[in-house]
Copies of this chain bind each other. A is one copy, B any other.
Amino acid sequence: MKRKERLSESAYIQGVLSGDRVVLSRAITLVESTLPADQELAEAVVSGILSHTGNSIRIGITGVPGVGKSTFIETFGKIVVDKGLKLAVLAIDPSSQKTGGSILGDKTRMETLAADKRAYIRPSPTGSTLGGVSARTREAMLLCEAAGFDVIFIETVGVGQSEIAVRGMVDFFLLLMLAGAGDELQGIKKGIIEICDALVINKADGDNLPMAKRAQREYANALHLFPIRESGWLPKVKICSAVEKTGLVEIWEMISEYRDLTKANGFYDANRAEQRGNWMHEHIGYLLKNQFYQDSLIQEKLKKNLPAVKSGALSAIAIAKELVELFMEGKAKK
Chain A residues close to B by CB (< 8 Å): 43, 46-47, 50-51, 53-54, 63-67, 95, 98-99, 157-161, 163-164, 177-178, 180-188, 190-192, 194, 227, 272-274, 276-277, 279-281, 283-289, 291-292, 306, 309-312, 315-321, 323-324, 327-328, 331-334
Contact = CB atoms under 8 A, between A and B. Distances in A.
A180 B185 CA distance: 11
Contacts of A160: 158-161, 163-164, 191
Given A64-B184, A190-B95, A285 B287 contact: no
Contacts of A281: 320
A273 B307 CA distance: 8
Given A95-B191, A181-B182, A318-B47, A310 B273 contact: yes
A309 B46 contact: no
Contacts of A324: 284, 287-288, 291
Nearest to A277: B310
Given A67-B187, A276-B316, 8 more contacts: A51-B312, A64-B186, A64-B188, A67-B184, A159-B160, A180-B182, A188-B188, A284-B292
B277 A323 contact: no
Contacts of A227: 99
A285 B274 CA distance: 23
A289 B274 CA distance: 19
A159 B324 CA distance: 32
A288 B65 CA distance: 37
A292 to B, nearest CB: 6
A270 to B, nearest CB: 9
Contact of A276 (B180, B283, B312): B312
Given A47-B315, A67-B187, A291-B328, A274 B310 contact: yes
13 contacts: A47-B317, A54-B312, A64-B184, A66-B184, A158-B160, A280-B306, A283-B321, A284-B289, A284-B323, A285-B289, A288-B289, A331-B331, A331-B332
Nearest to A192: B159
A321 B43 contact: yes
Contacts of A177: 184
Contact of A98 (B194, B289, B331): B194
Nearest to A182: B180
Contacts of A333: 332
A99 B95 CA distance: 28
Contact of A159 (B50, B164, B273, B316): B164
Nearest to A42: B317
B280 A190 contact: no
Nearest to A178: B184
A163 B164 CA distance: 14
By Cβ-Cβ distance, the 6 closest A-B pairs, closest first, are A160-B160, A64-B187, A159-B191, A283-B320, A159-B160, A273-B310
Contacts of A190: 64-65, 95
Given A184-B67, A284-B320, A284-B324, A276 B95 contact: no
